[in-house]
């Protein structure tokens, strides 16, 4: 049952996976849950690091909340800054198994879907805003081939093809490790500050971006 209106921001994170005892993306989503940003209510949710199942959970959240904005978060252990992902690829090629043991190799996320989607977040404006707020941030052209990209592509495909989600913008941001997890790292409070700043910037964008599929030359 739909309980939200077009004043909701959905922020998703993932549970712990692989050798990581915690996942900062879930902690950021939990911290932002029920916060208000620029007059919008944030719904923070933890998704399973499982191919397929994470999209089933996403579908339930989208149907229930009908968000204006969706920001997926995930862990990229080797990065030192927040990474604003520009491109979701219709390809999965897992280096490690997911949390249910699946390890898909060289297959599409969604057969028959476009080769790629571009994020519909205002990436460049968010980059400037988050950097001005003192948060290390950069852009990325590749969200990987694991569950993060699986979710990112699945989200963008839904935003492009589901009439009820017309006008909803979305994208994906990778986070560094927490200080207790090793280096490079970033404090949780700084991650939360950066994501809040980015969301505020995205909500302030005067014109919703039109989601278009794109082909990637390989």
Catalytic residue among 65, 150, 157, 174: 174
Backbone region of residue 166 per phi and psi (left: phi > 0; alpha: psi in -120 to 50; beta: other values): beta
Q: Are 137 and 131 in contact (CB under 8 A)?
A: yes
**Residue keyed to tokens 């949780």:** 188
Catalytic residue among 40, 54, 79, 148: 148
Catalytic residue among 85, 92, 150, 157: 85
Q: Are 107 and 179 in contact (CB under 8 A)?
A: no
Residues whose CB falls within 8 Å of the CB of residue 87, separated by 6 or more in sequence, listed in order:
116, 117, 118, 119, 141, 142, 143, 214, 216
Residues whose CB falls within 8 Å of the CB of residue 109, separated by 6 or more in sequence, listed in order:
89, 90, 91, 92, 149, 150, 153, 154, 157
Query: Is residue 40 flagged as an active site residue?
Result: no
Query: Is residue 174 flagged as an active site residue?
Result: yes
In order of 14, 45, 89, 145, the CA distances from 142 in angstroms are 18, 24, 8, 9
CA nearest neighbour of 88 among 102, 109, 71 = 109
List residues with catalytic annotation. 85, 148, 174
């Amino acid at each position: 049952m739909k309980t939200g209106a077009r004043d909701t921001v959905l922020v998703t994170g993932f549970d712990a996976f692989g050798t990581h005892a915690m996942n900062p993306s879930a902690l950021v989503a939990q911290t932002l849950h029920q916060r208000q940003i620029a007059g919008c209510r944030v719904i923070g949710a933890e998704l399973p690091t499982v191919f397929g199942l994470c999209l089933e959970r996403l579908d339930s959240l989208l149907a229930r909340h009908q968000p204006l904005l969706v920001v997926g978060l995930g862990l990229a252990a080797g990065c030192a800054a927040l990474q604003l992902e520009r491109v979701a690829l219709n390809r999965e090629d897992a280096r490690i198994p997911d949390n249910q043991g699946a390890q898909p190799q060289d297959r599409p996320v969604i057969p028959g879907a476009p080769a790629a989607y571009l994020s519909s977040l205002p990436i460049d404006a968010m980059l400037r805003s988050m950097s001005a707020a003192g948060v290390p941030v950069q852009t990325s052209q590749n969200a990987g081939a694991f569950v993060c990209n699986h979710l990112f592509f699945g989200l963008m495909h839904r935003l492009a093809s589901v009439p009820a989600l017309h006008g909803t913008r979305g994208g994906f941001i990778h986070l560094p490790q927490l200080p207790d997890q090793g280096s490079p790292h970033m404090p949780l409070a700084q991650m939360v500050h950066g994501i809040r700043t980015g969301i505020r910037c995205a909500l302030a964008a005067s014109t919703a971006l039109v989601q278009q599929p794109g082909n990637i030359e390989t």
